Structure 1
Amino acid sequence: MLRNSRESFGLVSILFHWIIGLIFIGQIVLGYLMVRVSDFTLQFSLYQWHKSFGFLILGLSAFRLLWKVANPRPRDPQSMSPVERVAAHGAHTILYLSLFLVPLTGWAVASSSPLQIPTFMFNLVVIPQLPITISDAAEAFWTASHAWLAYLSAFVAVAHILAALHHHFWQRDAILMRMLSPTAAKSRQEAFKLTGKSS
């Protein structure tokens, strides 16, 4: 099942979710490491990889957004309270915005830096700089914006993961399973119906 249903996400949405999520986590780790290495050659390579994966996230997120518009989101399970629904949709909104704002502010950092170091995306193509002010002050502003947005999105992502685990192990609904397999959520719901634990 490639497309979403009313009960579960389709294979395309699942792949977008996990691929972008894993790259995003890798970017947090890479961003932490690259500013702490002392070897200039290694640091340059890490920066280039960080920027390359940032543009990859930006591109994948654009396609994911188009797919999201064309596919209905599965309905929330009845076990979710109104507060949980608002919190979940708020977290999803923040994460979606972060997938665009964090790479864009990173692009702005590279574009505003007086050093004007080119971005070699996976050593295949040079990414042009944004037409923004080039100065130390501008670079500092975009660097701080990029870092704080990354911290915020990381915090929300951790909360998102914990909420999914809470639903899976405590609420025992299909929230997590529907993002693992198009058929796993249905199987879990049917199993709970048999045991009288379904939401």
Structure 2
Amino acid sequence: MSTETQRYSSVAKALHWLIAVMIIVQIPTGFIMHNLAFSETKYTMYQLHKSFGLIVLTLSLLRLGWRLTHKAPALPDHMKPWERVLARITHVGFYALIIGIPLTGWLMVSASPLGIDTKIFYVIPVPHWPVPVGEAAESFWIETHEVLAKITIGLLVLHVGGALKHHFVDKDSVLLRMVPSALHSKLRRDSSPKEAH
């Protein structure tokens, strides 16, 4: 099977896009709510942010499990060694971040001296981690959470830029292999992908 005909499974694509959309929404709203004055709106935003963050963590662990048990499509033959290394680093980095960001958020609320309960959408209770509680510990996890979010922004730019380069410059099938089936035919080019030659 050529690299042109290989595509990610429906499960892999669904997890990829669900997590991507939630991360893209979670990061800016996280920075926005952090800078708001305390109010009922800010409290509600935090509770929703925690709920979606825990969903991202769950989906990310499922995605990692799926990835470890299902082989990803091979990279195009024309890719240079440094491009392959960069692609590998980017993917590993994303797995670390999509798990690390919600996990540090969970550790942050666990370390908070406020002791506010965590419930997914106000219904499902989630226990806090048995970590040191106090302002210093909370500040550490807040800072770590924010740093990871900023790194994710940079990695997203790199990832999207790389995908667009593959599609518009290299004219290969890398982007097509992860897009939803409904968009595949629209994005597919009339010319044969580079790796098929």
Provide TM-score, normalisation by structure 2.
Answer: 0.90
Considering only aligned residues, what root-mean-square deviation do their CA atoms show, in Å? 2.5
| Residue in 2 that maps onto 1:43 | 42
Question: Would you say 1:158 and 2:157 are equivalent positions?
Answer: yes
Pairwise CA distance, 1:198: 4.6
Who is 1:97 aligned against? 96
Note if contact 2:110-2:129 (Cα within 8 Å) is conserved in structure 1.
Answer: yes
- Change in Cα spacing, 1:67 to 1:113, as seen in structure 2 (3 Å) is same
* Runs of at least 5 residues in structure 2 that lack an aligned partner in the other structure: none
Q: Which amino acid aligns with 2:10?
A: L
The residue number in structure 2 matching 1:18 is 17
1:179 aligned counterpart, secondary structure = coil
Q: Structure 2 matches for 1:84-163, cutoff 5 A?
A: 84-163=83-162
CA shift, 1:96, in A, is 0.2
Deviation of residue 37 (structure 1)?
2.4
Name 1:60's counterpart in structure 2. Answer: 59
CA contact (8 A) 1:14 1:179 kept: yes
**Cα separation, partners in 2 of 1:183 and 1:32, compared to 1, 3 Å:** closer
| Deviation of the 1:178 alpha carbon | 0.6
Structure 1 residues 79, 44: closer, same or farther in 2, change over 3 A?
A: same
Structure 2: how far apart are the matches of 1:181 and 1:25?
18
Q: 1:150 to 1:78 in 2, by over 3 A?
A: same
Structure 1 residue 149 displacement after superposition: 0.9
C-alpha separation between the residues in 2 aligned to 1:180 and 1:192?
18
Contact 2:104 2:144 in 1 (8 A): yes
Deviations 1:79-108 (A, max 9, x none): 211111100110100100111111111111
Unaligned 5+ runs, structure 1 = none
Percentage identity across aligned positions?
34
Distance (whole Å) between structure 1 residues aligned to residue 18 and residue 174 of structure 2: 18
Whether the 8 Å CA contact 1:10–1:182 is kept in 2: the answer is: no
Question: CA separation in 2, counterparts of 1:196 and 1:49?
Answer: 44
With 120-129 and 93-102 compared, the bigger mean Cα shift is at 120-129
- The answer to whether the Cα contact below 8 Å between 2:8 and 2:72 also exists between their aligned partners in 1 is yes
Offset, 1:39? 5.1
CA distance in 2, matches of 1:187, 1:38: 45
Q: TM-score, normalised by structure 1?
A: 0.89
Deviation at 1:20, TM superposition (A): 0.4
Q: Which piece of structure 1 moves more, 174-183 or 145-154?
A: 174-183
Secondary structure of 1:75 counterpart: coil
Counterpart secondary structure, 1:20: helix
Show the counterpart of 1:170. 169
Work out the CA distance in 2 between the residues paired with 1:96 and 1:80.
Answer: 22
Superposition map of 1:68-79 within 5 A: 68-79=67-78
Give the counterpart letter for 1:146 in structure 2: H
- Tell me the number of residue pairs that the alignment of Structure 1 and Structure 2 aligns: 194
